[in-house]
Structure 1
């Protein structure tokens, strides 16, 4: 059916979406644009939820519904996020042949506007050809890039479909059926300030305490299912002051809930032991360092059975379109993790975007056409 896809119309749609600025929490303009687009396509419902109260975005998530015109066809949803990372203002798209890039000083925005463009073209084809379809719902979230906040605050009771696909990953012809859960933590170590030149013995360097704990913490690839990272360290106020406080922020990820808990606890215990056993260089200094650890679950694991309805549907669509789909597990978290956590089985479908989150980001129009073809067949059952 790729012959029915209007490549240049799809290219124009993608370009226009990318050139509407929508960094996280500033999705208002693209939400307004998309409301108009889906209204012109004859959507039966265009709903903006109240999630902005929690996310801080200019707008809420969008839920768009196209009612079934054939009762025997099962409904499905497609999800994308409207926000981009920075630098994402005033994007200007360059096209060389079939390759889209930015002018070089911003990201392109194919993450995730490639998915949105494919959805618009898919729905346009269904309307033009008057194709029979089941219920189709489109979920467009805000603030995905800053903690999946839109998905976490989506008004789930508005959804009528029970499973679907998040169009949001690099590569092409790839379906992700597994992704890890993640815990994020903040570790605050408090020592004692002192003049670093006059009386350093009266102080406790929080940075030194932290360094000892970090040196004894297992980081990086922990096993085939798990990783850990300390990504932010902040402490000290001046070179002539023994640093009183340091804050460390990190994460643990694992496909196994049991391992996630074990590795998170191990990191906590290393820091607790380091603080409890700390010996000040000067015996006269009896001050003790203090520790405060805050841990929270960032998102649940995504784990779909390969014989589940959501996987079978995309597998059959791949066969119908002659694609050699790869079914993989991944190491990142996305809105799909959150949807699955709410009982909505969601597979991630790659859109063809490359070098995302960089100014070297690019997209091949041929990949965008291939994605559109795949989701069209998924949509019409």
Structure 2
């Protein structure tokens, strides 16, 4: 017989009107459901089932076609829920990503001290980001259960965040109802508000040389590997690799992988390099990509064989995620601060060097700030969920979903 997790096992630090056992049962149930990127169909069905069981009309729950636009494909799109308000106020959006890294598949959540961990030593837990999903879902279930008044609400459960933010990148914004305030749960401390995040570009470089015999006709060849070496030296000596400062703005560039060559007796005719650049400044991102491309072109022009022939280079850059910075006095930030203070905590404003679903929502004109719900050491076998922080994150979510006045 399948054993059910006993609610009395959960030991909470702070008494609260929040039904802690109910919230913890919810997050445990969600963490058990497999849902790696591109395979979120089971967790989507679980969330949908709980919403309809709570009385949310099926017509209020939809999925978009983000997976059809994603380069990774996938089995389902973003899950979107739109609820009319019972009080007059601007629409608010609460969001979190559904997918986990593959390491979480097969986890068995158990309590150890003041945390939840995976009882399967070969898996991570999935607190990233089932804690965020649970915080939002718990808020809506509480609203339904207790008939709490609330403004118009949109819930957005995204896909493929772990794979490259594809769910948020390709979300059908027209289905979201034009929210004026928005929050994303994906982090640890419930008192932390991430209001700015870095942007990134991919760098893909293909050097095309001229193959020839490395012994009998070496002078007729143009080594693509040599072209790559000249370009890399130019990029490094020009100060465009690693971390650097330009016009008071910080940027980074990393040429990460290089592949090429088939045999030692053939002048290499192709080399592929992959890299990335990051910055909080969009113009600096564009400039980094241009400088890398120019260095590659200079390398091609400077190298020729005995016949005066040169190789060539193909350069491509793509936006991985756009940088954003929400003003500290923006409504989403001030509302989050108010909710956090109401629970006796001091808000902490942060920026991050990593990427979030919030990057793409902000790029689409929706001012999303990111909050935490107790996840610790994600993507690892030591991942855990801090119970007290998770429950506090649930309280913050409920406050943001229901409070008529978030300016205090």
Deviation per residue, 1:329-364 (Å, 9 max, x gap): 111222111111111111111232222222322221
Q: Does 1:369 align with 2:391?
A: yes
The 10-residue stretch of structure 1 (1-10 or 268-277) with the greater mean CA deviation from structure 2: 1-10
Instruction: Provide closer, same or farther for how the CA distance between residues 126 and 288 of structure 1 changes in structure 2, counting only shifts above 3 A.
Output: same
CA pair 367-267 structure 1, distance change in 2 beyond 3 A: same
Say which of 48, 51, 54 aligns to 2:69: 54
Q: Does 1:76 align with 2:92?
A: yes
Query: Corresponding residue for 1:264?
Result: 289
Aligned positions, number: 377
Quickly say closer, same or farther: Cα 1:94–1:231, change in 2 above 3 A: farther
Correspondence 1:164 to 2:182: yes
Counterpart contact for 1:43–1:65, Cα < 8 Å: no
Tell me if the contact between 1:5 and 1:121 (Cα under 8 Å) persists in the aligned partners. Answer: no
Task: Please give the TM-score of this superposition, normalised by the length of structure 1.
Answer: 0.92
Deviations 1:107-142 (A, max 9, x none): 322221110011122222223332211112110111
Partners of 2:184 and 2:163 lie apart in 1 by 17
- TM, length-normalised to structure 2: 0.86
The 3 A distance-change label for structure 1 pair 105 and 232 is farther
Q: Which of 218, 225, 228 is the aligned partner of 2:250?
A: 225
Could you say which residue in structure 1 is the equivalent of 2:223? 205
Equivalent-residue separation in structure 2 for 1:289 and 1:155 (angstroms): 43
Distance 2:323 2:234 in 1: 27
Matched, 1:192 2:210: yes
> Which has the higher mean CA deviation after the structures are superposed, 309-318 or 246-255?
246-255
Partner Cα distance (2:42, 2:210) in 1: 49
Q: Note the alpha carbon deviations across 1:223-260, whole angstroms, 9 max, x for none.
A: 35322222332222345544321211222221112222
1:171–1:354 contact (8 Å) kept in structure 2: no
In 1: Cα distance, 2:265 partner to 2:183 partner: 55
Does the CA-based 8 Å contact 1:38-1:64 persist in structure 2? Answer: no
2:169 equivalent to 1:147: no
Q: Give 3-state SS (helix, strand or coil) of 1:64's partner.
A: strand
Q: Tell me the residue number matched to 1:22.
A: 35
Which blocks of at least 5 consecutive residues in structure 2 are unaligned?
Answer: 1-13, 404-408
- The answer to whether the aligner puts 1:177 opposite 2:181 as a matched pair is no
Cα shift at 1:167? 0.9
Q: Aligned in 2, Cα 1:10/1:232: closer, same or farther, shift over 3 Å?
A: farther
Q: How far apart, in 2, do the equivalents of 1:171 and 1:207 lie?
A: 47
Q: Helix, strand or coil for the counterpart of 1:233?
A: strand
Task: State the partner residue of 2:339.
Answer: 317
Residue 297 of structure 1: how far off its partner (Å):
2.2
Instruction: Name 2:232's counterpart in structure 1.
Output: 214
Contact 1:176/1:328 (<8 A) preserved: yes
Give every structure 1 segment of 4 or more consecutive aligned residues whose post-TM-superposition deviation is greater than 6 Å: none
The reply on whether 1:352 has 2:378 as its aligned counterpart is no
Contact 1:2 1:370 in 2 (8 A): no
> Partner of 2:9 in structure 1?
none
Do residues 37 (structure 1) and 37 (structure 2) align? no
Alignment partner for residue 106 of structure 1, among 123, 126, 131? Answer: 123
Alpha-carbon distance change, 358 to 208 in structure 1, aligned in 2, over 3 angstroms: farther
Residue-by-residue CA offset, 1:4-40 (whole Å, 9 max, x unaligned): 2233332222222222111111111111111101112
Mind listing any 5+ residue stretches in structure 1 that lack a counterpart? none
1:246-285 matches, cutoff 5 A: 246-279=271-304, 284=306
* SS in structure 2 of the partner of residue 178 of structure 1: strand
Query: Which shifted more, 102-111 or 176-185?
Result: 102-111
